[in-house]
Structure 1
Amino acid sequence: MTMPISAAPIRAGLIGFGYAGRVFHAPLIAATDGITLAAVASSRPDDVRAALGDVAVLDTADALIARDDIEVVIVASPNDSHAPLALQALAAGKHVVVEKPFALSLDEAREVVDAATRADRLLTVFHNRRWDSDFLSVKATIERGAIGQVVHFESHFDRFRPMVRDRWRERAVPGGGIWYDLGPHLIDQALQLFDLPQAVEANIATLRPGGQADDWAHVVLIYPDKRVILHASMLVAGGSARFTVHGTGGSLVKQLGDPQEGQLLAGVLPGAPGWGEDADPIIIHDAEGSRPLPAISGDQRGLYRGLVAATRGEGENPVPARQALEVMAVLEAAIQSSQARRAVALRRGPAATL
């Protein structure tokens, strides 16, 4: 049944209150009209209460999914639990938001999409970086034709974390490592611009002393007329641009990334003055020289605004199932390519499900 836009806020339940749940999901939901965080399932209830006050805190995901008042379940738990918990929530009749990575394999992702179709429930993936200032600025500049036809696109998510930390993301566990962590963001942004490549060629490695999981990834998406380079590393102290793009009419460089994660960590509330504003311009280089272009502001609330509209029948799913499957197809092909040390053509199934 279609709900009027003035209806009561959608009641959401969040599974997991680690970095993603605490830093991204909870504050973005709190700042988005039409949705409210009604309950959190976490093994650290004191942390949840300290951060969120009177929100209901449950010991298990099972208890949260079983609540009749929860309409949307947000899965922000460790990566290997994303698909199982999404399946459980869909079976209980809930709409579902899944943190990236959507699943650990393309087959597992297809299983979740099929379950959502059978249940007639909304399923979306938290590709929040579509609403980043750096990406929006680069996308708009390319679409304006400012550098002609793109032939080389390079996107970096680099960090400087030389010490291996004792956390599941950095252990040799299913879904651990930098490619499962940052790869989905890099892939999703590239596919928003260029659609699916013909093939993927990847080199994924562990370079830090004592590292257990991959902490360096260099992946090339192969298109007939361009190459798209996706790079992530834990050993970059500086000097690499967030985006470097070369075209038939010039080049662009976006040196710094979107500010929203840093703002959230500093306690800035989404929508506060200055939220998402990016002081770092795009630099255009062409035959006439170099010039700056102001960056577009970002706002990751766009994903939850889209979710609210879609669940009320007022808009489209912000991350449709096919797009989520396409990201998983590239993610998986890159792993296969790195292991086989050769380019891997994308694995495709029936047209409706990739």
Structure 2
Amino acid sequence: MEHRVLNVGLIGYGVAGQVFHAPSITAVPGLRLTKVVERHGNKASSRYPGVMSVPYVEDVLADPAIDLVIVATPNATHFDLARQAILAGKHVIVDKPFAVTFNETQELIKLAKQKQNVLSVYQNRRWDGDFLTVKRVAEADFLGKIVEYEAHYDRFVNYIRPSTWKEKEGPGSGILYDLGSHLIDQALVLFGLPETITADIRIQREHSAIEDSFELIMGYDHLKVTLKGGLLVREPGPRYTLHGTQGSFIKFGLDPQEEALKQGATPGASPAWGMESPETWGTLNADLNGLHFVGKIETIPGNYLAFYQNIYDVIVNGAEQMVDPEEAGNIIRIIEAAIDSQKRRMTIEMKRDCRE
């Protein structure tokens, strides 16, 4: 296997760039964060010696030494910046959501194939410890045939944040694009594409310019998937609930990696990285090999570094890509169907070509 360094340019140094991307890039062997586009200041170069803070996107795209470009900017800019980066001959990672429309995702995928560039989307929540555990429970057949799955991504923000672009109306705005992208991706990993979509998307906070609550029902044969998110949930319920013919699995609590990153921790630096305390381990109540079991399942440690480690191996060693852009495109297609469902107040049948 080849061992070489990939120079990385990061476009955007807001929350996504500061909290998620830069710490992970700098923690993965073989990746070298070289330039960061910041509109104001030089926070990146102050935190990471050797990194250059630059004011313009062109400072990254025109640099022949840059191999990989990360787009971590407001949602509405993802398509244009990713397109520019691909045309500049760079491998590209786009922060979720992939783009605003399904057609935009398909154009980017086609262009990346033409240029023979790696293209992926940062669906880091696949490596949340709680989701890794849910996936393992489902694959181990502890629950028998799963008939119902419910996942929540809730927060409590009972005020309007005027300083953030996330509170402004426009293409790609709202909680469904923001938090819903994660939940939809996880459901697709577990169950594949649904047959129907039914959505209830609302504005619950007074004076909010964006939708801040959603309930999305993805219909499958003999399976109901419910995905919910809201910004007025002060006392959260279970994050994951699974029911099957042999039992149930319930999981409370949030993966600790985001909070650790916000506190400035280096991902993977400690053996305890991504580990949950026993108080938040999920509860399994099921029939196992003729015995009725009720008890805790230790949460698998989360590992956001796995995404970037895979990207390095894809580019350098030709490894299989863990987050395929076609999968990320289907997330946007489902979001579009959900918006259509809300407007028409009806269940939307997913077209068969969505499965291809």
Per-residue Cα deviation, 1:298-349 (whole angstroms, up to 9, x for no partner):
1011110010000013411221122122212112111111111111122454
Aligned mates of 1:77, 1:151 — CA distance in 2: 38
SS at the partner of 1:114? helix
Aligned mates of 2:170, 2:159 — CA distance in 1: 18
Residue 236 of structure 1: aligned partner: 233
SS at the partner of 1:312? helix
2:333 to 309, 329, 345: 329
Residue 120 of structure 1: aligned partner: 116
Aligned mates of 1:107, 1:295 — CA distance in 2: 38
Aligned mates of 2:15, 2:131 — CA distance in 1: 22
1:239 CA displacement? 3.3
2:282 alignment partner AA:
I
1:266 CA displacement? 1.3
Unpaired runs of 5+ in structure 2?
none
1:300 to 296, 300, 304: 304
Residue 211 of structure 2: aligned partner: 214
1:33 to 29, 42, 50: 29
Residue 274 of structure 2: aligned partner: 276
Aligned mates of 2:350, 2:106 — CA distance in 1: 15
**1:16 and 2:12 equivalent?**
yes
2:309 alignment partner AA:
R
In terms of mean alpha carbon deviation, does 196-205 or 317-326 score higher? 317-326
Per-residue Cα deviation, 1:152-184 (whole angstroms, up to 9, x for no partner):
100100001111101111111211111110111
SS at the partner of 1:45? coil
Aligned mates of 1:81, 1:347 — CA distance in 2: 28
SS at the partner of 2:339? helix
1:178 to 175, 199, 207: 175
Residue 61 of structure 2: aligned partner: 65
1:76-155 pair list within 5 angstroms: 76-155=72-151
RMSD: 1.4
Contact map agreement 1:240 1:255 (CA 8 A) in 2 = yes
Distance 1:349 1:119, change over 3 A: farther
Residue 343 of structure 1: aligned partner: 347
Aligned mates of 2:353, 2:219 — CA distance in 1: 20
1:350 CA displacement? 8.3
Give the % identical residues.
36
Contact map agreement 1:17 1:44 (CA 8 A) in 2 = no
Aligned mates of 2:17, 2:320 — CA distance in 1: 24
In terms of mean alpha carbon deviation, does 280-289 or 163-172 score higher? 280-289
Distance 1:296 1:115, change over 3 A: same
Unpaired runs of 5+ in structure 1?
none
1:56 CA displacement? 1.1
In terms of mean alpha carbon deviation, does 324-333 or 193-202 score higher? 324-333
Per-residue Cα deviation, 1:200-222 (whole angstroms, up to 9, x for no partner):
10011110111110110100000
Contact map agreement 1:73 1:89 (CA 8 A) in 2 = yes
Distance 1:308 1:69, change over 3 A: same
Aligned mates of 2:235, 2:23 — CA distance in 1: 29
Distance 1:286 1:318, change over 3 A: closer
1:199 CA displacement? 1.1
Contact map agreement 1:268 1:275 (CA 8 A) in 2 = no
2:39 alignment partner AA:
S
Residue 161 of structure 2: aligned partner: 165
Contact map agreement 1:278 1:297 (CA 8 A) in 2 = yes
TM score, norm. by length of structure 1: 0.95
In terms of mean alpha carbon deviation, does 265-274 or 245-254 score higher? 265-274
Aligned mates of 1:239, 1:110 — CA distance in 2: 36
Number of residue pairs aligned between Structure 1 and Structure 2: 348
1:293 CA displacement? 0.9
1:146 CA displacement? 1.0
1:194 alignment partner AA:
F
Aligned mates of 1:158, 1:271 — CA distance in 2: 26
In terms of mean alpha carbon deviation, does 254-263 or 273-282 score higher? 273-282
Aligned mates of 2:23, 2:101 — CA distance in 1: 29
Aligned mates of 1:47, 1:34 — CA distance in 2: 23
2:212 alignment partner AA:
D
Per-residue Cα deviation, 1:81-129 (whole angstroms, up to 9, x for no partner):
1011111111111000000000001011101101101111000000111
Contact map agreement 1:329 1:347 (CA 8 A) in 2 = no
